[in-house]
Structures are given as C-alpha cells and as structure tokens.
Amino acid sequence: MIEITDKHQYNEAQDQPVIIDEIRNFVEARWVSAPEAIWRILGFSMSGMNPAVTRLQVHLPNQQKVIFNENINLEEVIAANRNQQTTLTEYFKMNIQDPDARNLLYIDFPIHYVWNKETKSWKKRQRGGCIGRMYMAHPVKGATDFEELKTVNGITYPTFKESAQQRGYLENDNEYQICIVEVKKFQMPIQLHTLFATLLVFGDITDVRQLWNENFNAMAEDFAYEGIPEGQLQIQKVLQNLNSFLQRHAKTISDYDLPELLPEINITKLPQTLLEELSYSVTPEELAKVAQADNSEASAFTEYLIRIGSGTEPTIENDLIWLPDEMVIYPHNNNDLINSIINVIYPNLIEYALDTMFITKRAILTPLNNDVDEINN
C-alpha cells in the first residue's frame, strides 16, 4: 500500500489523502491475450524445463550442506542418518553395489540413474533423461569413498590437491619457474622478492614450496654478501621482505605453504655462537638417516635420566649412581686416559682433521681449564 499526497490524489471534501493500491490496480488492469487465455483454460503448463537437471553436490568429507528448521536441536540434525546422505556419498555406495556404475563419471550419473529426494538414494533410470550439474571438479570414475579419491597408483596422498596433481589434472608451475629464471639473469635479488610475491598474490601456483626451494638461493644472494650466515637467518630475511610486499595486498606469509616467519630479530646484536647455531641446517639425507636409525639407545638414555631425576635409580654407597657400562670409556691404563677419550670422540682424527663438519659436531666437555689445556696439548 502506498500513500500518495499529490494534489491530484487528494480528497478535498474529506480533507484526507487517497490510498492507492498500485498492485491491485496493476492486476485489474492486466491484459491477457487470446493465446494465453486459451492456454490457461485448457490447463496447459505455462513453463517447463527440458531436459531435467539434477544438481550434484560436491563437498569434502562430513562437510555437506544440510538444510534444517532453526527450532530443531542441532545434535539431532547431526545424528540423523538422512543428513549424512548426499548425491556424492550415495554415488560412492552405488559404485560398491553396482559394477556398471563404476564405469560412469559422477557428472554422467543422472543420465543412467535417478536421484530419489525422499529416500536420498540412486536407482537405475527406466525412462526419460536427465543431465547433471555440479561445481567444477576433475573426473574420476568408480570411486567408492573419499580415500579412494586421494589414492593414485596405490599411494594415498594427504590432500585432494596432491592427488589431482598426481593424476595430471592440475597445471604445473613451469611457466612461473621460466619467468623467474629469466629475471635472474638481469635483475637483483630484491626484484626477485617482488616478483615472487607478485606471483603468490596474482598467480595460480600449484606447489608454492617447490617454487620456493628452487629459487631461494637466488633470492638470498644479497644477504649472503652482507655476511648473514646461511640457514635460518637468510630464510627469515627473505620471508620478511616477501611479507612486507604481501601485506600491501592483505596477505601474509602464513597464507601460503612457506617456512614459518619468526619474530624479526636484529642479527647484529646476536653472539657469534648463536649465529653459527642458527646458520646450521640439516640436509634431507641426514634427516633420512635419523628416521631410519634405531632410537632404542636414545630411549634408554632418556629413561635413565628420568629415573635419576625422580630418585628411583638404585644408588651405591654415599648415594652415588652407577653409570652403565655403555656410557663409560675404559682406558687401557691411567696414563692413556686422555687418548682414550679423544679416540672415542674423534675417531680417525688425522683423516678428518680438515673436515669442519666432523670437528664442529663433536666436543669434549671438562670441568676445569687445566683439563682443557692438558687435552689440547
């Protein structure tokens, strides 16, 4: 209802505005042509859709769309089996029950099967036709559950994206790598930072970490020239530069698969020993050796320390603790004590004397400086 106070719509006799129902006026003034009139008189449908369309759900495990009344208890909604059934989950079930279904793509399923909204299940189509509509997803035939979608050639990958990459559905990052390689030839590392961040924001990179690994050394060259040690310090400096650019576009390092950005530190104030420790990096080969190693000795040593700390380790006279034989170096004689320690800690010292990694990974700790002098001499 619309109230009009225009002078042409004003009742001067009653001194009040006239209420005009524009909707009613429109309906009453509607003109129906002869074809429309006879069509309605004969009861024909005024509209239709051919072929029929079935909307197919695409969702992650247990993340399907559920419609419910706001007055219903949410726990009941979650527990209801009906809400667990979708066109996708029932597609998986049909692939288990019907061998013919395994030859069909999900998008083609409505052509051969009918979706019953009441029972929320698929059944074979007897007549008619229908097409499926769904969000963009790469085709996989015959999957029986979500885990099978992530499995390629017998290997189950942690994410659907990795599975799609292994199936060849996603483009690789060759074009981005070629772009960066070209820029490396005539631009400084700081320009590489800008380019890399630009690709993160506006590109569609499938494997950010791989692109980072392939180009990190080039992006860190400036910091190497400044004397910043290799390893975590250079990584953090590059990440800081990238993050400052990303923030201009409402992004941060945490939005991408990149190393963690730590709180910014002033490396000029760090002691040299800490700089050396931060610069140390473990190679993948070393990590593999650790993963394959037998940790029984480390576990036994840890338990031994816990027993000492809790006071449950047996003691001998004067509350002394007996050290296990595997933790004790027994010299041939008292005069050979220092050489025995050196031979155990630094085996083949003459052969590896110039190997800095061999030297820096080992140390002999002594309580007195006199002992240090004696060992060094």
Predicted confidence (pLDDT) per residue in 22-32, tens digit:
888 787 777 88
Q: What's the pLDDT band for 193 if we cut at 50, 70, 90?
A: very high
Cis ω on the peptide bond leading into residue 229 (within 30° of 0)? no
Query: Tokens in use for 121?
Result: 């299940």
CA gap 130, 109 in Å, rounded: 9
Tokens of 11: 């009742």
Q: Are 53 and 131 in contact (CB under 8 A)?
A: yes
**Please, what sign has the CA dihedral across residues 77, 81, 82, 86?**
positive
Say how many residues make up the chain: 377
Task: Note the pLDDT of residue 339.
Answer: 80
Tell me the pLDDT tens digit for each residue of 148-159.
888 888 888 888
Amino acid present at 90: E
Q: Residue 8's pLDDT band (boundaries 50, 70, 90)?
A: very low
- What does the alpha-carbon distance between residue 181 and residue 215 come to, in Å, rounded to a whole number? 8
What does the DSSP 8-state code read for residue 257?
Answer: S
Q: What pLDDT is attached to residue 273?
A: 59
Q: Which helix (H) or strand (E) holds 268?
A: none
List, in sequence order, the alpha helices (H) in 113-227. Answer: 146-149, 160-167, 174-184, 189-202, 208-219, 221-225
Please list the residues that pair with 3 across neighbouring strands.
19
Q: Compute the distance between CA of residue 20 and CA of residue 16 in angstroms, rounded to an integer.
A: 13
pLDDT of the residue at 347: 84
pTM over 0.85: no
**How far is residue 342's CA from residue 329's CA, in Å, rounded to a whole number?**
10
Q: Are 178 and 188 in contact (CB under 8 A)?
A: no
Which is nearest to 219 in space by CA: 248, 254, 275, 180?
180
- How confident is the model at residue 21, as a pLDDT? 81
Question: Position of tokens 């473990």?
Answer: 282
What mean pLDDT comes out for the span 310-332? 78
Over 70: is that where the pLDDT of 123 sits? Answer: yes
| Torsion (CA) 206, 209, 215, 216 in degrees, nearest 10 | 160
| Predicted confidence (pLDDT) per residue in 35-54, tens digit | 888 998 998 888 877 788 88
User: CA 28 to CA 12: how far, in whole Å?
Assistant: 26
Domain parsing of the chain, residue ranges: 2-41, 52-167, 174-281, 329-377
Cα radius of gyration rounded to whole Å, the chain: 37
Helices 208-219, 189-202: axis angle to 10 degrees equals 170
Rounded Cα distance between 150 and 162, Å, is 8
pLDDT (mean) for 110-134 = 87
Winning range, highest mean pLDDT, from 154-163, 240-249, 257-266, 268-277: 240-249
Is 125:111 a contact under the CB 8 Å cutoff? Answer: yes
What pLDDT is recorded for position 322?
82
The more confident residue out of 239 and 137 is 239
Count of other CB atoms within 10 angstroms of residue 117: 8
What value, to the nearest 5°, has the Cα angle with vertex 262 and ends 261 and 267?
120
Burial of residue 244 (number of CB atoms within 10 Å: 0-12, 13-18, 19+): exposed
Flag whether pLDDT at 172 surpasses 50: yes
Least confident piece of the model among 37-51, 93-107, 348-362:
348-362
Distance CA 66, CA 82 (A): 10
| Partner residues linked to 115 by β-bridges | 122
Residue 152 pairs in a beta bridge with 155
